[in-house]
Every structure is written in C-alpha cells, then in structure tokens.
Structure 1
Amino acid sequence: MTRRALLASSFAVALLAGFQLSSSPAAAQQCGGDFRQFLAGVKQEAVAKGLSANAADRTLAGAQIDRKVLSRDRAQGVFKMTFLDFSKRVISSYRMKNGAANMKKHGDVFRRTEREHGVPAPVITAFWALETDFGAVQGDFNTVNALATLAHDCRRPELFRPQLIAAIEMVQNGDLDPQRTTGAWAGEIGMVQMLPEDIIKFGRDGDGNGHVRLKQSAPDAILTAGAFIDHLGWRPGEPWLQEVTVPQNLNWAETGLGKTKTGAQWAALGVQPRWGDISSNLPASLLLPQGRKGPAFLAYPNYNIYLEWNQSFIYTTSAAYFATRLAGAPRYNAGNPDPGLNDAQMKQLQTRLSDMGYNVGKIDGILGAGTRAAVQDVQQKLGMPADAWPTPELLNRL
C-alpha cells in the first residue's frame, strides 16, 4: 500500500457530525445519504471547478457503491511481520532479476528521470516491484466505484471526494476509462499505485503519446514516480540507506529514527560500512530493525522520503534496502537477533507500557514508533541494552 492509501487508512477522523451539508456555493451533499443525490453534488462541484458537465456525466453515470471496498477499508490487516521476515518475502530472486532487466530495458527513461528529477533508477524500481510486481498486479477494483464509495462513506470524505473529482478530470483528459480502469481498493491506479490527484499534479508523459497512462506505460509510470519522489524532497546525489557493522560496546540508546549524528561521528564510534563509503558530512540515524544482534543500517536524509511514501517502518526500510541491492549492495547480514514477541505478548507489553504512562497509541500488537520509543526508554531505565527491540526478557522484567 502506498503512502497515499496508508494515509487514508490511518487518519483518525471522526464521523463528523453535520458534515453532510455544505456551505459551499454548490450546497452539495458532502457524504452519506442518497447516493444519486451525492453524485449530483459531486458533478456540481466538478463543474464549478471548471470541468465539463459531459466529463462528469461520463464518469459518474454508472458509478455504484462497492461493498467489497467498504469491507477492505474496515478490515485492513495490521503490519506485524518483522523486518527479516518481510524483506525476505518481498525481495525475491525473481524481483532482483526482473528489476535489473527493467532498469536496462528502460535505461533511457531512467536516465531522463534522474536528469530531470534527481531520483536514481534503483529507488523507483524498488517501489515499482513492491507495489505491483512491475505492473503485473495492479488491482481489479473499478477505480471510479472505489473512489465514489469511499467519498460517499462519511469516514474520510475530505480525502476521497477530491480524488473522485480528480478522476473526472482524468476522464476529461482521456487518461481514465470510467467503465474499464481498475486499480487498488483505495482508488490507486497504475504500476506505481497513485491516486488521481497525484497523477494530475505529477503525471508525466514518458512515452510521448500525449497521455499519462500509468497502467499501460512503463515510461509514464517511471517518470511520474520520479516527479512525485522529487516533490517529496529527494536530495539528488545522496544515499538513502547503507548497511553497516556496529561495535558491541555502542551506546544503543543513541540509535533509532530521530537521533542523528554525522557519518563521521558514527565512524568514530566504530560503525563501519559493509558496502561503499560512509557519507561523513551527512546526518544519519542508526537503525536496528530487530535490535543490536540483527541487521544495522545508517539512514540518511533521503530515507525520510520513503516514510513519506509509506509510513510503515518495516515497509520503508525493506523498500530502501531493496533499492540498495538493485544499486549493487550485497545481501544483508541477518545476524542472530534475540527472539521477539508474539501478538499476545506484544499487546501485553503495550498495555503495561501504557499503564506506566507511555503513549504507545492503540493496543494493537504492532511495533510502531511509539512502542519502539517506549521500549528503548524502559530498557535504558532497567539497565538493559536500549536497542528498542522488545524481547520476552523485557516483558518478564516488567
């Protein structure tokens, strides 16, 4: 799931009372109620924004509520796999081989993308692979129905209603077929899974046919992804992630996202690269996805762009690592991490941490940022190695 869909799924938005009526000039029904009246309001708003009534009619005429979309939205799986398990699953030899082949096949487009937007081929290729297996698995939900369903639903209309109007603009431009265009359940389209508003803003015609069609055209998808990543703040010519070895006498409390030293400072502490050279002058965080006995990475400023694309630490670290592999880095040293916690144990730990006054968010069994920070603080107070990796030993100590 991309950053846009993850953002949609994680918004803590109440069912805004009184939100169904609008004070806009169109006085359009914003969500809920009769579906046809809702669509009439969407058309009215689209026309008020300069889109043609014909395009709105062609887009919305056959739109229907998709109950499967609502089911997916309300029953989203939670991300509980470890970094080693997830990365081993998604970074297969097939994807490595096909990633290299696609970088060669579309070399001209990748070189143009890096020239215009500063984003190197391995970064885009890793997202392309993880999102859709290079276009092979793009989703089979009708895009207009998915967006209309989520916009009509009153959970997050402020996110999805603009996407539905953007879909009308895409129909007007000839870049979306309301009957045939399919994608993810959250309305994302194409090989790199982007929402209509992002396609409108950052879509690029990579193959020169006058259209932006991310489902069919790899050049369009590559160049558009580059433009979007550039917009997120990519720093050209800089690394994003680098596997390192770490000394066992390191102060583990200084590791983790948000705690930075320059590459030179980490090197002075005994941190050494497994591939390439440490960027001495750049700030970097030392990431230990499964504690001090597992893989270790320096995350440079460009790593933050991955968190903009998708806010899951495990997904982003895997995607960033995958990109380093496509760039020539060796397979990581998996090490021998201490056993982690199962779902019930993680919830027990979160409950205990919450009772102690830590903000771990929802008791959901997910090792998110809040839980990692709390674990690291408690480890330090208990005199344990503060590497933010929760273990049965820590749970027993609490």
Structure 2
Amino acid sequence: MRLMPFVLAAALLPAAAAAQCGGGFQNFVKLMKEEAVQAGYDNATVNAFFAATSQDPRVLKADRGQGVFQKPFIDFSRRLISQERLRRGLQMSQKHDATFQRIENTYGIDRGVLLAFWAFETDYGGYQGDFNTRDALVTLAHDCRRPELFRPQVFSALELFKQGNFDPERTTGAWAGEIGMVQMLPGDILRHGVDADGDGKVSLKTSAPDALMSGARMLSHLGWQPGQPWLQEVTIPADLDLSMSGTAKKKSVAQWRKLGVAAREGNLADPSLRASLLLPQGHKGPAFLAYPNFGVYFEWNQSFTYVLTAAYFANRLQGAEVYEAGKPDSGLNDAQMKQLQKKLQARGHNVGDIDGILGARTRVAVQKEQVRLGLPADAWPTPALLKKL
C-alpha cells in the first residue's frame, strides 16, 4: 500500500557518471551495466543481475494512478481500517509478542506503530506484491519522472544480489520496488535488515520477526524518539485561531493547553513537547495533535492522508477510541480540486503538480487564501473558497 515511495536510506552510489533517464530502454540498461562495472562489480555478477531485464508498463501505470490519495481522511481511514484488520492486528500482537517486546526494549517503539504499517503495507504479510523487483526499479530509474529516487535502489538490489540475498528473476514485491512484509526498499534492507530469528538470513518476505525488527531499526535510524507519543485526538475551542494549525506550525503542549486544546481521552502529553494541530477536514472534523515522532512517518510515506491514517490506526491498535468525525464542510471533487490548484498557482502559490490531491503545499496555499479572504483558516478547501477565488 506504500504508493508514494521515498528513499529512506542512502543507497550505494557508483562512482561513475549516472546513466541518463529516458531514451531507448535497452540502451539505458547497457549504460547501467557499464556503470556497475566501473563501480567495481565484476562482469559476471552484472550480467547475471541484468539478464532479461525488461520494462514493465504496469509499473508506470501504477505510478501514475494513485487516485486513492484524493480521498479525504475520513473516507480514506474508514476504507483502510476495518474491524477485521483491527482484530487481526490484536491477534498478531499476541502471536509475535516476544518480537514486539524485543522491539520495545531495543528501540522504544510501541507495537501499534509496526502493526499498523504491517497491516497497510501487506495486510499482515498476506499480499506482498507480484511485480518483479529488479524490473520495477529499472523501469522507474529509466522513467524521467523521479529517476533520482529509484536509480540508487537498482544498485542496492545489485549489492543484495552480490551478497546472495536477492534473486533478480524471482524476487517480487510492490510496484515501486519495496520488498517484504513491511515493504522496504533494497537500500533500506542493506542498512537496516535484521536477522531476528537467528537463521543466518534477513528474510523480510517469509520471517515476521526479521521484517518487524528491520522496520523498527529503520524507524529508529530515522529519528523515532523512544517512549514518546506520535498522535493524539483532541478537541478545540470554537474561538481558536485556526491559522495556527498545520504540520509546519508548532507550539509546546503547554501553549496548546492554554489556548483551550484538550485531549479527547486522558491527558495531553508532556507539556514541554512541541506539537502541531492537524485538522485534516477542517475545523468541523476530527482534530489531532501531532508530536515529534509523527514527523518520522513522512520518511516512510509522503502522503499526509496515509501518514495520518497509519498513525491513528497505531493508536486504535493500542486501545484508543474511534475518532469523533464531526460534520465537516463538503470538500471538492477531482475536477474542482484541480481547478482550485490552477487558481492558487495563478495567484503565485507553489502547489506542485496539478493532480487533484490535497498535498502539503496545496494546504499551505489554501490556508493563506483563507486568511486573505476572511474565511476559517483551517486549510480545508471548500466550494465556498473555490467560488471566492
């Protein structure tokens, strides 16, 4: 389910000049092979790895078809979180209790965090993807949309092959090159793979202990703070200045408390922690405080909706109540969102691609225009905003 990949760890970068993206695919493969040899790999290894490499049009189609991220948080989270997924998550927590205890003791990461990723990425290992990993990575490295993200991963896969931990003809995974139960890229496996079950191999496709410990080690490397929260549902006062909300705006928990923000369950976290107020569907919908660990989620996936849903599901797996959905104002459909992005762009805002997705830059632009127009500045675009623009 990791549909917006991000290179989580520095991969092995060859010393030779990079093969340019685009052009004839087989010529691109030829240049990649030459680059690998210049980087020190022997001809036999390189030829064996790249033998029968082919472009996979399904990968390109998947890369351009990420419409699921156009869904608002409430719809998206209800789609991904079911009673069955929750039940199985609790079952897996018991089944692999020893591994989760080891993770908590070693890295200080609560089990709900790993269980949520495991659920969303592969449905607890049930479906890990059927794309040939080598072909997927080379296809995306050749494509000029984001070659800088995928090209290093080709060489990481080559290194795994050299070490005997990758079969270029048989290793399969997600369309974006992630492998195993928690979907890790080859560069991540090289740096963070853990042989947790002690069989002498790092087997992220078949060993739950290996996959979970490797994922935990990666999160720790990315900056996860042991024993700290990541997300908490809150209530906000009616007179709160909504322009203070957003992932880029932070205040101490003590400051949020003074402003009238309160925990929906229990108490707010350590008063000295800094947190952002998130209103994924505006001030009439759910509200959350996002703590420093929440930022680590964006190193796993860059979609705000996915990240928020994964963080919330981690809470649910640890006993939190279902969030209060409220009654958010109507949002925009795909055509309206693209129209909004064009209007924002015309007013000098950097919203990135006109893709119909309410991403971070679009949210920032929306909030600025809401302030300018005297609307509730909660970064939630509505038909009323579109009309005023």
Decide whether the 8 Å contact of 2:16 with 2:39 is kept in 1.
no
Question: For residues 25 and 85 of structure 1, what CA distance do their matches in structure 2 show?
Answer: 46
Aligned ranges 1:329-348 → 2 under 5 Å: 329-348=320-339
Decide whether the 8 Å contact of 1:263 with 1:278 is kept in 2.
yes
Decide whether the 8 Å contact of 2:345 with 2:351 is kept in 1.
yes
Could you tell me which residue of structure 2 aligns to residue 65 of structure 1? 55
Could you tell me how far 1:186 is from its partner in structure 2? 1.7
Q: TM-score, normalising length from structure 2?
A: 0.90
Question: For residues 251 and 135 of structure 1, what CA distance do their matches in structure 2 show?
Answer: 44
Letter in 1 for 2:359: G
Could you tell me which residue of structure 1 aligns to residue 253 of structure 2? 263
Could you tell me which residue of structure 1 aligns to residue 117 of structure 2? 127
Decide whether the 8 Å contact of 2:89 with 2:115 is kept in 1.
yes
SS in structure 1 of the partner of residue 105 of structure 2: helix
Unaligned runs of 5+ in 1: 9-23
Decide whether the 8 Å contact of 1:174 with 1:211 is kept in 2.
no
Letter in 1 for 2:91: A
Decide whether the 8 Å contact of 2:19 with 2:35 is kept in 1.
no
Aligned ranges 1:195-344 → 2 under 5 Å: 195-279=185-269, 280-344=271-335
SS in structure 1 of the partner of residue 349 of structure 2: coil
Choose 373-382 or 197-206, whichever is displaced more. 373-382
Letter in 2 for 1:310: N
1:365 equivalent among 339, 356, 360: 356
Q: Cα gap change, 1:382/1:245 in structure 2, threshold over 3 Å: closer, same or farther?
A: same
Question: For residues 345 and 153 of structure 1, what CA distance do their matches in structure 2 show?
Answer: 29
Aligned ranges 1:38-77 → 2 under 5 Å: 38-51=28-41, 53-77=43-67
Decide whether the 8 Å contact of 1:2 with 1:194 is kept in 2.
no
2:102 equivalent among 107, 112, 125: 112
Decide whether the 8 Å contact of 1:191 with 1:215 is kept in 2.
yes
Question: For residues 306 and 358 of structure 1, what CA distance do their matches in structure 2 show?
Answer: 26
Could you tell me how far 1:267 is from its partner in structure 2? 1.3
Could you tell me how far 1:52 is from its partner in structure 2? 5.1
Decide whether the 8 Å contact of 2:6 with 2:299 is kept in 1.
no
Could you tell me how far 1:197 is from its partner in structure 2? 1.1
Q: Cα RMSD between the aligned structures?
A: 2.3
Q: Cα gap change, 1:366/1:65 in structure 2, threshold over 3 Å: closer, same or farther?
A: closer
Could you tell me how far 1:329 is from its partner in structure 2? 0.8
Aligned residues: 382
Q: Cα gap change, 1:375/1:156 in structure 2, threshold over 3 Å: closer, same or farther?
A: closer
Decide whether the 8 Å contact of 2:235 with 2:262 is kept in 1.
yes
Could you tell me how far 1:112 is from its partner in structure 2? 1.4
Q: Does 1:355 align with 2:334?
A: no
Could you tell me which residue of structure 2 aligns to residue 2 of structure 1? 2
Question: For residues 352 and 313 of structure 1, what CA distance do their matches in structure 2 show?
Answer: 22
SS in structure 1 of the partner of residue 248 of structure 2: coil
Unaligned runs of 5+ in 2: 8-13
Q: Cα gap change, 1:335/1:75 in structure 2, threshold over 3 Å: closer, same or farther?
A: closer
1:160 equivalent among 135, 150, 153: 150
Q: Cα gap change, 1:44/1:288 in structure 2, threshold over 3 Å: closer, same or farther?
A: same
Decide whether the 8 Å contact of 1:114 with 1:121 is kept in 2.
yes
1:79 equivalent among 69, 78, 82: 69
Choose 284-293 or 58-67, whichever is displaced more. 58-67
Can you list the C-alpha shifts for 1:47-74, whole angstroms capped at 9, x where unaligned? 5545454443332223222232233334
Could you tell me how far 1:91 is from its partner in structure 2? 0.9
Could you tell me how far 1:316 is from its partner in structure 2? 0.6
Among the aligned pairs, what percent are the same residue? 57
Q: Cα gap change, 1:220/1:275 in structure 2, threshold over 3 Å: closer, same or farther?
A: same
Letter in 1 for 2:158: I
Q: Cα gap change, 1:396/1:54 in structure 2, threshold over 3 Å: closer, same or farther?
A: same
Decide whether the 8 Å contact of 1:241 with 1:320 is kept in 2.
yes
Aligned ranges 1:131-146 → 2 under 5 Å: 131-146=121-136
Could you tell me how far 1:227 is from its partner in structure 2? 0.9
Could you tell me which residue of structure 1 aligns to residue 382 of structure 2? 391
Question: For residues 24 and 382 of structure 2, what CA distance do their matches in structure 1 show?
Answer: 51
Q: TM-score, normalising length from structure 1?
A: 0.88
Q: Does 1:173 align with 2:163?
A: yes
SS in structure 2 of the partner of residue 6 of structure 1: coil
